[in-house]
Amino acid sequence: MMAPPILEVSDLTRHFTIPHGLLGRQEHIVRAVDKVGFSLEHGQTLALVGESGCGKTTLARMLLKLLTPTSGTVKIEGKDVGTMSKAEIRQFRTNVQAVFQDPWASLSPRMRVFDIVAETLVINDNLTKGELTRRVDEALIAVGLRPDQAKNYPHEFSGGQRQRVAIASAIIAKPKLIILDEPVSALDVSIRSQIMNLFKDLQDDVGCSYVIVAHDLGTTRFMADRIAVMYLGKLVEIGPTDDMFDAPCHPYTQALLSAALPLRVGKAHEAIVLRGEVPSPVNPPTGCPFHPRCQSVLGEICKTSPPAPKELGSQNHIMSCHIDV
């Protein structure tokens, strides 16, 4: 029997209600994440790509059990996260970890690096001081830092080094799935490659899976095996990386990819410039959420009926669009 995928998301939805009107009586419903479904196999990386208001951050928080879904399920190795027992949740916490975007806000300024890195083990396991030190040293070395740096405070490190500390604290419990929320966006360009190589190396060594939220497409291409494109809370296209980059099918995916400016000089870059603003999730357009800006909009059908997901040729390449491909 095949092992269940490390991550399985079905019909995941999260609504926020915003009070509105004179006395806050009326409510606006913000469909931050709307019926999103996908799965991720062990040792693979899925990228969540999209712009502001697409819901990728909300989705990431639900995967980490920091936010409760309004409906739908998140399953880690086949077990529904929403119905876990206390013991299972402890296990979950060691299995699913995160690295966040801002290296300056990720680490508590009042804690030494040792305590920051050891935290997951301290909370969930019962190790002796000696064992704990050994594990912390191991984690620090794995991320390219030195064990003697464990006694320092975060403000003594640079941005890239702080991110390494955050990564060390994420990997120390040997998690099976790590959620990376824009892990390198706040770092200098010349540091990003170091950190990304580190992620790849860790994956090769340990076999962990990643869900990476990123807006930089080069990073995405480098890290991801599969890419999920989100727009206004909906999953508009998901498929293998190479397919998505070489032959994107959904108009939004095409526009998004064309917005990545290549380093080629000389040949004018054919970019699809979308009209208008990214609409607010408070007042999403009717029908297909992308239709007001879509460069290939078909007409009435896009305005009135939300497109259903359909499978395209190769493995697990799904898109929600009325266009026939």
Partner 1 sequence: MGETILQVKNLCTVLDLSSGTVPVVNDVSFDVGVGETLGIVGESGSGKSMTALSIMQVLPKPIGRIASGQILLEGTDLVGMSNQQMGQIRGREIGMILQDPHTSLNPVFTVGNQVIEALEINNPGTARKTLRAHAIDALKKVNVADAERRIDAYPHQMSGGMKQRVVGAIAIAGAPKVIIADEPTTALDVTIQLQYLQLLRDIQDETGTAIIFITHDLGIVANLCHRLVVMYGGKIVESGTVADVFGAPSHPYTEALLKSVPSVDQKLDRLYAIDGQPPALISDRVGCSFAPRCPYALDICRNQVPQESDALSGAKSHRASCWNMERTT
Partner 2 sequence: MGFFVMSQKLKFMGHLPVLPIVVLMIVLIVPALFADLIAPHDPYKAYLRNRLEPPLFFGGTTEFILGTDRLGRDILSRIMHGARYALVISLVGIVLGAIVGTALGLIAGYMRGRIEALIMRIVDITFALPSILLALALASISGPSFQLVIFVVIFVIWGFFARQVRAETLILRERDFVARARVAGASDFRILHKYILPNLVNTIVVLATLQIGVVIVLEATLSFLGIGIPRPVPAWGLLVADGRQLIVSSWWISFFPGMAILLTVLSVNMLGDSLRDWLDPKLKQV
Binding site for partner 2 (CB under 8 A): 61, 64, 66, 89-90, 93-94, 96-98, 100-102, 104-111, 119-120, 123-124, 155, 166, 169
Nearer to partner 2, 45 or 97 (CB): 97
CB of 32 to partner 2, least distance (A): 16
Asked if residue 71 lies in contact with residue 11, where contact means CB atoms within 8 angstroms, the answer is yes
Determine which helix (DSSP H) or strand (DSSP E) holds 280, and give its type and residue range: none
Q: Which two tokens stand for residue 136?
A: 């912390």
Residue list 278-297, contact with partner 1 (CB under 8 A): 278, 280
Residue list 3-32, contact with partner 1 (CB under 8 A): none
Q: How far apart, in Å, are the Cα atoms of 263 and each of 35, 271, 282? A: 37, 14, 37
**Under the criterion CB under 8 A, does residue 271 sit at the interface with partner 1?**
yes
Distance CA 230, CA 107 (A): 29
- Angle 247-252-258 (CA atoms, 0-180°, nearest 5)? 60
Interacting partner of 267 out of partner 1, partner 2, none (Cβ under 5 to 8 A depending on kind):
none
Distance CA 266, CA 243 (A): 27
Instruction: Count the residues of the shown chain that bind partner 1, applying the rule CB under 8 A.
Output: 46
**Under the criterion CB under 8 A, does residue 44 sit at the interface with partner 1?**
no
CB of 305 to partner 1, least distance (A): 24
**Under the criterion CB under 8 A, does residue 259 sit at the interface with partner 1?**
yes
Q: Which two tokens stand for residue 273?
A: 């410039």
Determine the interface stretch with partner 1 among 67-75, 90-98, 125-133, 217-225 (rule: CB under 8 A). 217-225
SS3 string of 5-41?
Answer: CCEEEEEEEEEEEEEECCCCCEEEEEEEEEEEEEEEC
Distance CA 123, CA 242 (A): 40
CB of 289 to partner 1, least distance (A): 14
Interacting partner of 124 out of partner 1, partner 2, none (Cβ under 5 to 8 A depending on kind):
partner 2
Q: Strands 209-213 and 177-181: what pairing? A: parallel
- Angle 277-214-229 (CA atoms, 0-180°, nearest 5)? 60
Residue list 83-102, contact with partner 1 (CB under 8 A): none
CB of 109 to partner 2, least distance (A): 5
Nearer to partner 1, 19 or 218 (CB): 218
Nearer to partner 2, 17 or 286 (CB): 17
Q: How far apart, in Å, are the Cα atoms of 186 and each of 2, 47, 107, 197? A: 39, 18, 14, 16
**Under the criterion CB under 8 A, does residue 188 sit at the interface with partner 1?**
yes
- Chosen residue from 73, 133, 194, 203 binding partner 1 by CB under 8 A: 194
